[in-house]
Amino acid sequence: MQPKIEQRNKAIELRKQGFSYSEILKEIPVAKSSLSLWLKSVKLANSQKQRLTNKKLASALKGAKKRKDDRIKITKEIKDKAQKEVGKLTNRELWLVGIALYWGEGSKEKDYRPGSGMQFSNSDPFMIKIFIEWLLKIIKVSKEKIYFEIYIHENHKNNTNRAIDYWSKHTGFPKNFFFRIYFKKNKLKTNRRNTKNNYFGLLRVRVKNSSELNRRIAGWTEGIYGNY
């Protein structure tokens, strides 16, 4: 019986010093129900309560960081494996990829607007880069026929030079190819997250005298649909 009393007294003393239940259980290996019974009448000072609060917060942050690190590691493993599954693209595969990209993000000729040239718009720099490679290497469009338009929200007027630098870097085209900038009116409320330093607007890729090419792409698209 004596050891039990000594354990109880030691537990009470540790609790008065501001130790948490888990910390006390490491020192005194008893059932948690017994510990709760011993300590239910022990009052803690504000400084001791703050220590326990800080400890819980630190533990929560540590747990959150571990979960984040685990998620990043798992995501990287999945993406690395998926990248290897793709392998090197043939020219035909890249040709089909480019058609599919334009099918989703390119402008199409309308009956009420015949003879319209091709336009491809997106804010993803990797998609833009693949599409430009498709134009230059697969479709054999000359670089001089390509030009760009930037669409950016009007509250980013002071960041236009930064946006031009960004798109010039990702496309590999000199800055003088980005001579048209259009400003979009801002909504009072928006759910967009990319409104600060990571916002560079939307890039529109255009090709001069490309109405015939636009019609060919439409034919290729119909070919994919007809033969899938």
Res 189: pLDDT: 57
Res 193: pLDDT: 55
Which residues of the chain have a pLDDT value below 70? 1-3, 45, 187-196
State how far Cα 23 lies from the chain centre: 40
What beta strand segments (E) does 143-193 contain?
146-153, 180-184
CA–CA distances in Å: residue 47 to residues 17, 36, 43: 10, 21, 12
Res 42: pLDDT: 79
Res 23: pLDDT: 83
- CA distance linking residue 153 with residue 187, whole number of Å: 9
Cα dihedral sign for 186, 149, 113, 222?
A: negative
Those residues with Cβ within 8 angstroms of residue 220's Cβ, 6 or more apart along the chain or in another chain = 99
- CA distance linking residue 155 with residue 46, whole number of Å: 48
State how far Cα 60 lies from the chain centre: 24
Res 1: pLDDT: 46
